Amino acid sequence: MIVKDVVCPFCGCLCDDIEVEVEGNRVVAVANACELGATKLTGERRMKNPILRDGDAWKDISYDEAIRYASDMLLSAERPLLYGWSGTHGEAQCVGVHMAELVRGVIDNTSSVCHGPSILAIQEVGHPGCTLGVVKNRADLVIYWGSNPIDAHPRHLSRYTYYADGFFLENAFRDRKVIVVDIRKTETANVADEFMQIQPGGDYAVLSALRAIVRGRAESIPQTVAGVTREQLIRVANLCKEAKFGAVYFGLGLTMTQGKYKNIRNAIELVTELNRHTKFTISAMRGHYNVYGSNEVNTWMTGYPFGIDFSRGIAFYNPGETTAVDILARKECDAALIVGSDPAAHFPRRCLEHLADIPVVQLDPYPNATTAFCNVQIPVAVTGIDAEGTAYRMDGVPIRTRKIFSTEYPSDEEVLSRMYALMQEDG
Amino acid sequence: MSELLIRNACVIDPLRGINAEVMDIAIRDGVIVENVGGSAEVIDAHGALTLPGGIDSHTHICGTKVNFGRYMSPEDMRAGRTPRRGHMHSTSGYSVPTTYGNSYRYSAMGYTTLLEGAMAPLEARHTHEEFLYTPLQDTMANTLFDGNWAIMEAIRDGDTKRVAAIIAWTLQAVKGFGVKLTNPGGTEAWQWGKNVSCIRDPVPYFEVTPAEIIRSIVEANELLGLPHSVHLHCNNLGMPGNYTCTLGSLGLIPDLNPKRQTLYATHVQFHAYGGSDWKDFCSKSEPIVRFVNMRPQIVIDMGQVMFGRTTTMTADGPMEFNLYRLHHEKWSNHDVELETGSGIIPVVYRRKNLVNSVMWAIGLELALLMESPWQCMLTTDNPNGAPFVRYPEIIALLMSKRYRDAEFATIHPDTGSRVPLPAIERELDWYEIAVMTRAGQARALGIQDLGKGYLGPGAEADVAIYPIRIDEVDPAVDYQKVIEAFSQTEYTIKRGRVVSRRGECLVDGSNATLWVRPNVSDDYDMGRDPDFIEKFDRYYTVRMRNYPVQEEYLNRDRCIETEAGI
Ligand code: SF4
Ligand SMILES: [Zn+2]
Ligand SMILES: [Zn+2]
């Protein structure tokens, strides 16, 4: 059977034009997706049933037992952490918020270790953005800054920017210029019309120089700024001002390097400044397919996009204090529920040492690095493959993922709802 | 079967012409009936003011831009926090509360039905997701068509039936309720960083004017037989001298519908400005009101401004950028492909600021000068003019000349020479307030046939009982008591259940979403139109099959079917 218009549950591009061929409970062919998407859709070996750590071994347990374990763990904890969420659908994230509220825990998502600083910058200066289709149809200039889409968001260029058909561009590929700004010559830089190579840590200075030139103060710029020549800076600033519609897409290369949220703030202010001359937008290249959805859900439910602490009854937000990495590093939390992410693959060692000391339950279809830290792991259906639900694309467009085939696995939402119901009874 | 009897209610029910009669209200299974049995649960209202549940016909509570207002404003979230308690989840936010915050606070004020004023079709799913977490009110969404490419092309071709067909397809796809135009043409121009100055200014590339968009969509709206009229946010919002543009826009509207208005003009306060710049800025409420008084085909809402901090958010992207250039706080913008856009900035309206003082006066003038309260709804364009929790103060200002004078003495001293407000003696009465906050809103939205906005047999049992006896309180003098009474009901009843008692919400709630499906002939089904499909595939970044909002996003699904004349 062929299923059309499938939504790829891998990266923030959330491509919804995938075709898959299904035989029984297996995807045998994938069309339109990139490598990353195709691999995700064809799937790895899934865990068969919930497992409980028993000394050095694993014991199979039932879903009822596993859910009971998790609910008891959360209810008896003094400072539980509910972390992850970017790899699951919005409906499950909503249940997660209710659970965190009930046990007065901390709920945090993976943006606290990726685009958290971008969000802090937006909270200071705002965000001039747009949906991806606006860029596709209008932009004659696209800038990738500290992001390498060919690697991380492979179809971003073909679906939304460089190679995409645009209503207002006669020959999109010819009429659209792409500038790459990075500290090394990436694959994306190889296809760009202009590459601006910055010395590591120099983003802030380069952004400031561009702002000064846009404001008409080119004369104040030295011969080189962080390795970029004055001539190139002026050329790039002019390309921006002369564009009819410009779009900046930044990645962790800007967010997570020296300067962090100040870089993003500076970049947003450059774009705001450019809007006095022409039309310009800026957006983050959000990674995990539904990480933006976890920000959206948390925001309408609690007021804040990540790092929410319910220990006072009210929702309290203070990134750096109420975020997962900090709570683990301070050895504060005494139980953790992990959903839709793999913190053991990304967190600093100090955090993992503490994770090893406390009870941990994970909801994930596959064994992963975090499995080694779990007391219980509960396999669930994969949203976008054998479960459906809402995901938010990197530009905020919500899409309902399709179910390609059915399995016996319960969805994240089902497992969490049962947990929450038990917790309400006992809590 | 569940039965409830409200005894000794002092009822004002304008849709039935009832003005302050003490009576009983019988309720069975969520509907008002003639009488109930002896075993019904009884609430004694002790003569307290009892009104149909409040209806807000223009507010911003759910969806992409509202949530972005929260996302970018932790300072606003901190300004209003309540913990989880009983059936109430924790809430955050003052001007843009979380969904539960909106729902509980509206419920405490007696509101049972809310219309989200601006939903971008592409992002409709988000609005509906937030509706699911706004449990104590029935909800509906005005759908944005101001910069819709397919519609502008149909208008250019002079094909009004096609315009109607596109609206019909979109409304059923996104589960929308009404047709909203925000700065028609301007939101498309803004995707190039441009704007349209008024109704005769053509939209770049599409070469249609706002006047053509307004006229054609108004006609299409009536062809489809939609319950609500076109809902218009005029061009040129917030600019000195814009009242002429507003009059020009309102002048385009024929009288096409015997049951209700043909145009709902929203937040008219922001469109009633005289002067040529900020220096000679002044009120032009009088010419606007004179014009609307003579035209029953138009209903307006106030868009009242109240002093203090709030967040402005609208689909009107270019206006928000202009506002940003004045205020220099943070600015967000979000353009939506092929459809519309939005902008957000936080603002503070200050008493000591002359422009803000004039704005405050204009909103009140509109309500006080309009002859018929059925033509002027009480709103703040929440949260643009002020958060909705300020409604009780607005009610009191409209009911008390003394309160207005006391407030007037505290605002910018030059205001008096620029506004007619100090000379207006009129004080609205309880009946008129009931019209402007529920009965008139139900009629303007075209939902009285669904049992909304009145308390007669067959109506939905949405009732608000306020802790005030109107035979004992003179609102002209005791305006503080009026504010207190409208801030918190004694009981708010939704579909026959007490959902809120003295500010405490008692149930988890179960709202309904009202949306419209116009039935059109096969020839006008855009889902089969090759040209529509081809353009959709080429220029949207979402597949046409993934665009419609599924039934999973509707809690209680209340689909209104209309028989379209195409
Ligand atoms: S670009 Fe991202 S969403 Fe699209 S197919 Fe590749 S992994 Fe999936
Ligand atoms: Zn508006
Ligand atoms: Zn509005």
Q: Which ligand 1 atom sits closest to the C-alpha of A156? A: 1
List the structure tokens of A84. Answer: 């992850």
Which residues are within 8 A (CB) of B328 and not within 5 positions of it... i.e. 6 or more apart?
A: none
| B127/chain A closest Cα distance in angstroms | 10
Q: How far is the CA of B339 from the centre of ligand 3 (A)?
A: 17
List the structure tokens of A352. Answer: 């993992």
Q: Which of A299, A308, A388, A392 to mutate to test the interface with B (most CBs of B within 10 A)?
A: A299
Ligand 1 pocket mutation pick from A40, A151, A155 by most atoms within 8 angstroms of CB: A155
How deeply is B480 buried, as exposed, middle or buried, from its count of CB atoms within 10 A (0-12, 13-18, 19+)?
exposed
Ligand of minimum distance to the alpha carbon of B181: 2
Distance CA B553, CA B534 (A): 27
Along the 566 residues of chain B, how does pLDDT read in single tens digits?
899 999 999 999 999 999 999 999 999 999 999 999 999 999 999 999 999 999 999 999 999 999 999 999 999 999 999 999 999 999 999 999 999 999 999 999 999 999 999 999 999 999 999 999 999 999 999 999 999 999 999 999 999 999 999 999 999 999 999 999 999 999 999 999 999 999 999 999 999 999 999 999 999 999 999 999 999 999 999 999 999 999 999 999 999 999 999 999 999 999 999 999 999 999 999 999 999 999 999 999 999 999 999 999 988 888 888 888 887 789 999 999 999 999 999 999 999 999 999 999 999 999 999 999 999 999 999 999 999 999 999 999 999 999 999 999 999 999 999 999 999 999 999 999 999 999 999 999 999 999 999 999 999 999 999 999 999 999 999 999 999 999 999 999 999 999 999 999 999 888 999 999 999 999 999 999 999 999 999 999 999 999 999 999 999 999 999 999 89
Task: For chain A, list the domains and their CATH numbers.
Answer: 46-113+289-426 (3.40.50.740), 116-284 (3.40.228.10)
- Cα B223 to chain centroid distance, Å, stands at 23
List the structure tokens of B435. Answer: 């019209």
> Domain residue spans in chain B?
51-458+462-505
Distance CA A363, CA A340 (A): 7
Give all strands (DSSP E) within A131-253, no chain letters. 141-145, 177-182, 194-197, 224-225, 228-229, 245-250
Q: Tens digits of per-residue pLDDT, B86-97?
A: 999 999 999 999
Record: contact B192-A300, CB cut-off 8 A: no
CATH H-level superfamily of B51-458+462-505:
Metal-dependent hydrolases (3.20.20.140)
Closest CA to ligand 1's atom 4: A15
Closest CA to A119 of B68, B221, B243: B68
Start-end of H helices in B375-500: 391-399, 401-408, 430-434, 440-445, 479-487
Query: What ipTM is given for this predicted complex?
Result: 0.97
Return the amino acid letter for B543. R
Neighbouring CB atoms inside 10 A of A410's CB total 20
pTM over 0.95? The answer is: yes
Q: Give the closest of B72, B77, B129 to A390, CB-based.
A: B129
B549 in the Ramachandran plot: left (φ > 0), alpha (ψ -120 to 50) or beta? beta
Ligand of minimum distance to the alpha carbon of B385: 3
Instruction: Give B94's contacts in chain A (Cβ within 8 Å).
Output: none
Q: Tens digits of per-residue pLDDT, A50-101?
A: 999 998 899 999 999 999 999 999 999 999 999 999 999 999 999 999 999 9
Distance CA B133, CA B147 (A): 29
Distance CA A109, CA A126 (A): 21
Nearest CA in chain B to A140: B192
Neighbouring CB atoms inside 10 A of B37's CB total 10
Distance CA B68, CA B73 (A): 8
List the structure tokens of B332. Answer: 């967000």
Q: How far is the CA of B59 from the centre of ligand 3 (A)?
A: 6
Residue A427 has pLDDT above 80, yes or no: no
Distance CA B529, CA B115 (A): 31
Please report, rounded to a whole number, the percentage of residues in chain A having pLDDT higher than 70: 100
List the structure tokens of B359. Answer: 């704005």
Query: Which position has the higher pLDDT, A396 or B321?
Result: A396
